[in-house]
Homo-oligomer: A and B are copies of this chain.
């Protein structure tokens, strides 16, 4: 099922770089306007032969938040839905969860109460996911994501990615950029599907993490997931995570919430061609509309800072011709 969905999405991906190479118009799902123009201008400044701000290919790094920037985060973070399903699946082995938050609320059918805060969410994810080996966890995520659907739209989560952002990934790659996902979500929750869905390999995924330990189980060496938070990749953690994994300050950063503030700040404070982009969810009809008041994906401080910092604010309703890739899976 995942392969089907991924193939459907991947089927779109080659079009854009090919188009870019062939000189056809890039970013076809973007309406003409300041946001599209700013992205194209940045790419041109950073890569065009003869540009005074041209950057050598090795230093062309761009980073993307995941939830709300590359795929939908409403009605709840995808990983929150994964936590809910895992808590339900594992509840028989954990009678103590009936009295302990956030598990009690989840089991009582009120997951939104329990998981609205991203840090509580991350901790709940870690608590439900420690104990197994990294390879076992990988298999659990693959199995879940293959069939899990957005509760509002009924589409696979892997189809709830943003088509205009896939086109930005493709454009940047066609221009020699290495693109990274830098998410507050769990690094090992994203890796199992990000390569098929975004074309981004595991070493270019940055995220929150739990401790791991090398040990022997049933005579086999494994890397085992420990019940301890190792790293929270949110807010000021994002530049730290980027430095740790990518080893460089990016040239371009795309986010959608205050958790991306420091990532955009660090990125756009460097010299030369820089790009900071905030995706603003303004389309209540085709998607969701939220910013300052939303517990998930709150966009307040970063939005206020955008004008003076020169950050581009994408208005989804105005700037995006399409939101998601076409429903390919229905054709089969």
Contacts and interface: CB of A to CB of B under 8 A. Distances in A.
Interface of A: 58, 134-135, 178, 180, 187-188, 191, 195, 201-205, 209, 212-214, 220-223, 236-237, 239-240, 243-249, 262, 265-266, 269
B58 A203 contact: no
Given A213-B240, A214-B239, A245-B245, A265 B203 contact: no
A57 to B, nearest CB: 10
Contacts of A248: 202
Contacts of A243: 134, 212, 223
Contacts of A236: 213-214
Nearest to A196: B58
16 contacts: A58-B201, A135-B249, A178-B201, A180-B203, A201-B247, A203-B203, A205-B247, A212-B243, A213-B236, A213-B240, A214-B262, A220-B269, A221-B265, A221-B266, A221-B269, A223-B243
B134 A195 contact: no
Nearest to A223: B243
A58 B195 contact: yes
A223 B244 CA distance: 10
Contact of A266 (B201, B209, B223, B266): B223
Q: For the complex formed by this chain, how many copies does it contain in all?
A: 2
Contacts of A178: 201, 203
10 tightest Cβ-Cβ pairs between the two chains A and B: A202-B247, A214-B236, A214-B239, A223-B243, A191-B247, A221-B266, A203-B203, A221-B269, A221-B265, A212-B240
Given A221-B262, A269-B220, A214 B202 contact: no
A178 B178 CA distance: 14
A204 to B, nearest CB: 6
Contact of A240 (B202, B203, B214, B239): B214
Contacts of A212: 240, 243-244
A73 to B, nearest CB: 23
A203 B249 CA distance: 12
B221 A239 contact: yes
A135 B201 CA distance: 25
Given A134-B243, A202-B246, A202-B247, 4 more contacts: A135-B249, A203-B204, A214-B240, A214-B262
Among A195, A205, A223, residue most surrounded by chain B Cβ atoms (within 10 Å): A223
Nearest to A266: B221
A202 B59 CA distance: 10
Contacts of A221: 239, 262, 265-266, 269
A219 to B, nearest CB: 9
